Structure 1
């Protein structure tokens, strides 16, 4: 078919009917099971969307305690009752518990690790339903020019960014440089025209919608990471196989999320937010746009980059919880293995005492022939050595107040995965394999068991970590407190690709 030619009506109709036949079951399933669709069909959907949308979406609150959420909900109901006292007469906490039930799925109800008060957090279904309702509202101005320019620029980035021919890349860069030089000459000769008011409003509207969509995407990414964390906890709680197989599944699942398209995109965005220079530039640009008189200012967008940072940090915290779960699993397994060894030793001692008190019959014992009689000379024994006099001082010295060190409590330590990868590259040539214990012997463990987990979770393009469940290896290390410890792991090999 020639470029730009449309398909005929018959073929287009056939494709459309095929797509409808394929998707009708999926749409029916979404209507019956998806929480967002269920929310839009609920009788109290205006109350749910008005409160949860304002509190969690517009104000960008994360997980909040029940007391904080009940206070905010009580004020919301008070404003509603001022116009219609007969609407929504139940208690705020009853509504919250109902919305957190599994058959609704609009709120997530849980207890944080460091709190004994129940917390609530909105799910991505609430965000999607709220955005859909917002899009239904009519807008006085709908911009299209900026969207077209954005689409064309994205296509240019895709085509020219994936180009592998150096000459083609150079030609494109020279064309762009010629355009920039032409614009510079126009400005110098005072022949340039600033953006019109409609163009400014058009681009500001695109920025506003994209900025809000980013917050919505963060909540969905956080939910995906939380599902991975919940799956890992369920595996650990009900695992009855070998430790090597469980470690392989957990590390592989963590690696798959980090190396997926969603994980790479999120990490790139998070790295951008951590750049102080880029944050400062973004804040200055937003401030300059908000001061333009032609723009209908959205006050929330003034600090939208802070909202992005808060949402990204909540997502990163979910990833940290998964890593913490792996670390606790390893420490618990080492403690259980040490306890098992002590139980075996205690059993051997008890059996030895029983045999001493009730020796077996002669025919059950073992007879060992000695090659000769032992000779013990009198002067081979050591001479008597008087022990020094022991003096006991019963006076107890008064207690002295020692300065309390808070650095160990407040300090946080993080494992640098880049440093671990550089250690491997410095020792192992390409297309070679080495034992993990050899690498640790050359570069001793500094961050405790978290650094061992860091080696296991490496997923660089040129490094592959393999766990051999049939064999075990023991790694001796010193934890952060300086206590010598030992970790038993499956034999681990590191390969440079």
Structure 2
């Protein structure tokens, strides 16, 4: 690579991240939250809470003042244009700020992992992959039917010879080294493929911004603009990257392919020769989740682009059009200029319009007369101590415990969760567990399997209850669940 190319790459967000003073903090925290857990969107409040815990632990271990800023300040720095490691945005139909990692984080993480020492470096499987790719390209572009028939005949002869050898009991089994070689390449390719989804989504957004910039700075006739942009309504989805992604997504959604992939993955994960990666057990579910989000982004950008173009077509007021284009052109020209005088804070993302006729008219309040005659003093005595013996179970505390347990795994049973966090408020807390509801997880009841839950009451007596098997699963799971009323069969 030439000097000019490397100098330009040095200004990219991924390189800036590697040069940052707190690069280990940024890579470890963002990698754990967004890459390891495959999170594509997280609210600002939750991300600040998790970063606060991380900063507290690091300051306790490394010394007070190692990371002096607040979590919100760090997140704002990482999302600033001069950093570009987080994307800060408002999701549709939401007024709460959300964050998502940019492709620069995954690129920096991939480079850092690549410089680590590896105890085993396989080459055979990659050589086989290279040969297979060359064979597909060479014969996939061949126009001569005779050449294609000759290649197919050669492959059929090789398969027939292999079938005959197997019938005679002569076949080779992959050695442990070959198994580790191929598994290492599978894990690397699977993780790279998952990382590519975030970059594909970012490229779609950049394509949308380029189209909008072209519309905003267009100075020719309106008909020429429509001929150029509306000749194909799906400008984003029909790009080269959009067609490639759609082909992969259709391939991944094939039911036969999903079943075959799940069966092959289950067999490979239990091989004795490979050190199985736990995350690979549900990597195809992570692909589906990331692909669905990218697909939704493409659909949303296409709809927004069409609405944007419709506004340009139907606005007939020449004066308004000139003002809007002037504002957009000036904004695009000064968007990269960092000047405090050009920065303006707004109170909200949308104006609040209140029409005069929407205000209700004054209504006099009816005053109820208070009659205190005829009140006599009660003769019975009431024990007021019973008012202080009421038990209140905080569902938010139980939800936090379930979410914390599900961060490291896809599901957890209620009995296992209670072994970690024993019941403190007896039956009332158990019933609250059974009635939990949260967008982050789902509750699955198995009526065919019974479990016993034990605890001790305030007097130290042992209590137990027989309940159906209860399992908490993360909401990103694609498995079907059957919800049953939790307290109908509690004994």
Structure 2 residue 93 is matched with structure 1 residue 93:
no
What's the counterpart of residue 45 of structure 2? Answer: 67
Is 1:168–2:147 an aligned residue pair? yes
Is 1:321 equivalent to 2:283 in the alignment?
A: no
Q: 1:185 aligns with which of 164, 170, 175?
A: 164
Q: CA deviation at 1:334?
A: 7.5
Residue 266 (str. 1) matches residue 266 (str. 2): no
The equivalences for 1:161-310 within 5 A come to 161-235=140-214, 242-251=221-230, 257-310=236-289
Residues 82, 277 of structure 1: alpha-carbon distance in 2 compared, 3 angstrom cutoff: farther
Q: Secondary structure at the match of 2:96?
A: coil
Distance in 2, Cα, partners of 1:249 & 1:85:
60
Alignment TM-score, normalising by the size of structure 2: 0.60
* Aligned mate of 2:84, from 102, 105, 110: 105
Structure 2 equivalent of residue 441 of structure 1? none
Computing the radius of gyration from Cα coordinates, the structure with the larger value is 1
Higher relative contact order (CA 8 A, sep 6+): 1
Query: Partner of 2:99: helix, strand, or coil?
Result: strand
Task: Call closer, same or farther: CA 1:193–1:80 in 2, change over 3 Å.
Answer: same
- Rounded Cα–Cα distance in structure 1 between residues aligned with 2:237 and 2:312: 26
CA displacement, residues 182-231 of structure 1 (integer Å, 9 cap, x when unaligned): 11111111111211111111100000000111122221111110012223
2:127 is equivalent to residue 127 of structure 1: no
Structure 1: unaligned runs, 5 residues or longer? 1-21, 341-497
Q: 1:251 to 1:123 in 2, by over 3 A?
A: farther
- TM-superposition CA deviations, 1:222-249 (whole Å, max 9, x none): 1110012223444556667654333334
How many residue pairs were aligned?
318
The structure-2 alpha-carbon separation of the partners of 1:177 and 1:206, relative to structure 1 and needing over 3 Å to count, comes to same
Please provide the CA RMSD for this pair: 2.5
1:294, CA displacement in angstroms?
1.6
Q: Pick closer, same or farther for the CA change 1:225–1:254 going to 2, 3 Å.
A: farther
* Distance in 1, Cα, partners of 2:91 & 2:215: 19
**Cα distance in 1, alignment partners of residues 75 and 232 from structure 2:** 33
- Please, which of 135, 145, 159 is the counterpart of residue 156 of structure 1? 135
Question: Partner residue of 2:28?
Answer: 50
Structure 1 residues 146 and 108 mapped into 2: Cα distance closer, same or farther (>3 Å)? same
SS in 2 for 1:121: strand
Q: 1:164 to 1:237 in 2, by over 3 A?
A: closer
Distance in 2 separating the partners of 1:241 and 1:318:
30
| Contact persistence 1:229–1:321 (CA under 8 A) | no
Deviates more, 1:251-260 or 1:78-87: 251-260
Q: Matches of 1:44 and 1:310 in 2, distance apart?
A: 31
In the alignment, what sits opposite 1:408? none
3-state SS, counterpart of residue 83 of structure 1? helix
Task: Note the alpha carbon deviations across 1:414-455, whole angstroms, 9 max, x for none.
Answer: xxxxxxxxxxxxxxxxxxxxxxxxxxxxxxxxxxxxxxxxxx
Higher helix share: 1
Unmatched 5+ stretches in structure 2: 320-491
What's the secondary structure of 1:303's corresponding residue? helix
* Correspondence for 2:471: none
1: CA distance, partners of 2:36 / 2:116 = 16
Task: Name the CA shift for 1:245/1:67 in 2 (closer, same or farther; >3 Å).
Answer: farther
| Corresponding residue number in structure 2 for 1:7 | none
Q: Distance in 2 between matches of 1:280 and 1:122?
A: 31
Distance in 1 (CA, whole Å) between partners of 2:246 and 2:193 is 14
Quick one: distance in 1 between partners of 2:307 and 2:174? 58
In 2, distance between residues paired with 1:317 and 1:250? 21
